Structure 1
Amino acid sequence: MSFNGFLVIDKPAGYSSHQVVAKVRKILNERRVGHTGTLDPMATGVLVVAVGFCTKLIPFLDEQKKVYQAKLVIGLTTDTQDLSGRVVSAQPETAVTQEMMRAALSNFTGELEQTPPMYSAVKVQGEPLYKLARAGKEIPRKKRKITIFRLEVVDNLRPVYGFQEGPYLRIECSRGTYIRTLCHELGAYLGCGGCMGDLVRLASGPFRLGKAVSLDELQKAMEQAEVASLLLSPAEALAHLPLVTLDQQSAKLVRHGGRVYLQSKDALQESELARGMTTDGRLLAILKYVGGEKPYWQPVRVLDQ
């Protein structure tokens, strides 16, 4: 049986994102499987996995906003910026007051610049940084612009935090934000150092942890022929895009890469994307709006379904 759609996997700790993809491939006996954004091996939570022809739709998903819950550990810095790494410095006499913590958190919201950690999948001249880091090398990295939309403490702040203590944080941020680095920088701002403890991704765009399934649950669903009930359809996953309904003639043109002169129900901007849906409700293509005297839709991705 062939599967097409999106799975929201609750990634277990200790698995890399690629290992989860390999596991899903094996369970579903499907070669076309890919994840939409890396989650650190020690982290748990939302990992969106595309299956079948939906791997072609990964670039069009709306996953610009992420939500995490992370444990901030103060008084300790490591080479990986989390508890899995080698300790670089420790300050056992650390004492951070409630007021100090509030000031630090308020300093790390809005548009910021962040340097990717050496232990990351970012590539420099084709080489992942983590491979260089494991070889004991450190190279200059370009800062990246990120946005922290919201940064708050999950529970009430304690009066004082000591060595290797710290609050759980809820972070709403832009894609590409490293929560390990945020914890490291919070520790530096507090003057005692810091790193990340536990990390859970609660949401990636519209994909939420409450809708996620474990690998064991996926295996059980496969054995009971219930995988289809776990898959989000491409139309659901791309619901943020405006809708263009294609009649039989227009659908035929789109299948062969031809443009169609149609009007959308929505006001559109040049190069805006839309879902090209057939009259029976199937997603046929991703279309790009081209304005001018005779505006038209140009297919940029046609699905082989």
Structure 2
Amino acid sequence: MADQPCGFLVLDKAAGLTSHACVARVRRAYKLKRVGHGGTLDPAVTGVLPIALGPATRLLPYLEGDKTYRGVVQLGVSTVSDDLEGEVLARYAVPALEAADLEAALASFRGRIDQVPPQVSAVHVEGQRAYARVRLGEQLNLAARPVTIQRLELLGWDAATASLELLVRCSAGTYIRSLARDLGETLGCGGALARLRRTEALGFGLEQAVPLEALDQAPLPALLNPLAALGHLPQRQLLDAELDGWRCGRALDHGLSLEAGEPVAVLGPDGNLAGMARTGEGGLLQPKLVFNALG
């Protein structure tokens, strides 16, 4: 594994590109088949798109799922997709609103809430994607799902255009388009997402991101060490005498304060990632992923 690219590339995705197209471009540039992204961005959305290459793709389930966005919500309109990309369903008069009115409405969306996904979304409905059924003219009744919004801040309010800018930090699976729609309903005037930029995902931020055009230059962007994505997890470093046993799948003691099933990043004696483990019976670390060499 050590002789093939392995790590993370963080793209600053431009508008108009699909996440799938970005993955395909990375795959061609690095001449790798094993490439995957850490959370789809809609084509109109810009910002952080973490991409795992090589053996690092196996680490995606262990990464922190929270994401941060900056977005603009347009009040006074309702669309089929809950953003301004979709067909307009209705337009409404926007009442005279002050920042205090917006803050009061936002308060009801902080914390754990039940959220209905947009009609135009990748949610599965009886074996089909919701967006595919909507394209056939169906009106769907999607079930609400629990999500958590840890941070929701009003960054600006433009009464002249009836638009507001928000900062949102949320759990995986949260739809900012749904938040825009529901906020508009709470304010009594409809709402749709006008613009969205993801500033953080899976522990990676814009400061680590490169544009897709960087793949057209030599040398290719250096990949981030897999450990850069695992800083939120406890670690256990192997002793030299433990390395062979680890590679054979032998459980480890750890001396850490851990809950049952909690993931742990296991480092080799050289400090590079040797794999992932979870606490099992008897409090031992059970190997779940074993890498021969990652660095």
Question: Structure 1 length normalisation: TM-score?
Answer: 0.89
Q: CA RMSD in A?
A: 1.7
Q: Distance in 2 between matches of 1:174 and 1:95?
A: 31
> Where does residue 78 of structure 1 map in the other structure?
79
Distance 1:138-1:296 versus aligned 2 partners, 3 A rule: same
Residue 289 (structure 1) aligns with: 279
How far residue 75 of structure 1 moved from its aligned partner, in angstroms, is 0.6
Q: Does 1:34 align with 2:24?
A: no
Deviation at 1:105, TM superposition (A): 1.6
Tell me which residue corresponds to 1:169: 166
Partner of 1:227, secondary structure, is coil
Q: In structure 1, how many angstroms separate the alpha carbons of the residues matched to 2:234 and 2:148?
A: 26
Checking the alignment, whether the CA contact within 8 Å between 2:103 and 2:154 is kept in structure 1 is no
Moved over 6 A (4+): none
Percent identity over paired residues? 37
Unaligned runs of 5+ in 1: none
**Contact persistence 1:53–1:304 (CA under 8 A):** no
In the TM superposition, 1:229-268 aligns within 5 A as 231-260=223-252, 262-264=253-255, 266-268=256-258
Partner of 1:188: 185
Q: How do residues 25-64 of structure 1 correspond to structure 2 at under 5 angstroms?
A: 25-63=27-65
Q: CA shift at 1:183, angstroms? A: 0.3
Q: Deviations over 1:12-43 (max 9, x none)?
A: 11111111111111121111110011111100
Equivalent position of 1:100 in the other structure: 101
1: CA distance, partners of 2:285 / 2:105: 48
CA contact (8 A) 2:50 2:202 kept: no
Asked whether the 8 Å contact 2:84–2:194 carries over to 1, the reply is: yes
Indicate conservation of the 8 Å contact 1:289/1:296, yes or no: yes
Where 2:43 maps in the other structure, the secondary structure is coil
CA contact (8 A) 2:214 2:221 kept: no
Which position in structure 1 is the counterpart of 2:268? 278
Aligned to 2:288: 300
Question: What letter is aligned with 1:95?
Answer: P
Q: Do 1:254 and 1:285's aligned partners in 2 also have CA atoms closer than 8 Å? A: no
Q: Which residue of 2 aligns with 1:206?
A: 203
Aligned to 1:128: 129
Change (3 A) 1:197 1:12: same
Q: Secondary structure at the match of 1:275?
A: strand
Can you give the 5+ residue segments of structure 2 that lack an aligned partner in the other structure? none
**In 2, Cα distance between equivalents of 1:235 and 1:197:** 36
Count how many residue pairs are aligned between Structure 1 and Structure 2: 290
Query: Structure 2 CA distance, aligned partners of 1:131 and 1:41?
Result: 16
Does the CA-based 8 Å contact 2:9-2:224 persist in structure 1? yes
Task: Assess if the C-alpha contact under 8 Å between 1:96 and 1:190 holds in 2.
Answer: no
CA distance, structure 1, for counterparts of residue 264 and residue 189 of structure 2: 49
Deviations 1:173-214 (A, max 9, x none): 111110001001111111111100010001114211121111
Q: Distance in 1 between matches of 2:270 and 2:287?
A: 19
Q: Distance in 2 between matches of 1:150 and 1:289?
A: 31
Q: Normalising by structure 2, report the TM-score.
A: 0.92
User: What letter matches 2:172 in structure 1?
Assistant: R
Q: Choose the corresponding residue for 2:221, options 212, 227, 245.
A: 227
